[in-house]
Amino acid sequence: MKLNELKDNPGATKDRMRVGRGIGSGKGKTGGRGVKGQTSRSGVSIKGFEGGQMPLHRRLPKRGFNNIFARDFNEVGLDRIQKAVDAGVLDKGAPITAEALKAAGVIRRVKDGVRILGGTVTAALTFDVAGASAPAVAAIEKAGGSITVQAAPAPAEA
């Protein structure tokens, strides 16, 4: 089989309807838009419009808020870190930071810091991270490692 011989299964695709191309096509004259009115014209944008009635999205009450001081952490499980150590991409001797995890390919990008989640770890590792769960701290200390949790920066004054 060659690349120029590839084709889809019969019936897998359907030809698009060419509207406004004469009476015989069945979609001529108004092109399937009906007659007159807002939706027959071009440039219509009436998603959520209910003919003047108060739209559903305005009838429902507003709820919640967005915390502008919330921090977005990279969450990494200990199992993932142990795999990286076993594979040799993470150095056992050096402290494990967000930059080290990024360089090892464990996380894609550094956000507001790394938060370590539970799992199992056998190597005695040193962590310098923004946060850690209680089971993660227990597992690290049990394996003979240490963890330093950085203090959260004070929110900017408004």
Q: What class is the 74-149 domain?
A: alpha beta
114 DSSP assignment: E
- In DSSP terms, 53 is beta-bridged to 50
pTM of the model: 0.61
Tens of pLDDT, residues 96-144: 999 999 999 999 999 999 999 999 999 999 999 999 999 999 999 999 9
CA distance 98 to 121: 18
End-to-end, the C-alpha distance of the chain in Å comes to 66
Tens of pLDDT, residues 2-60: 999 999 999 999 999 999 999 999 999 999 999 998 889 888 778 888 888 999 999 99
Q: Where are the domains of the chain?
A: 74-149
Q: Which two tokens stand for residue 82?
A: 């142990």
- Count CA within 13 A, CB hemisphere, residue 68: 4
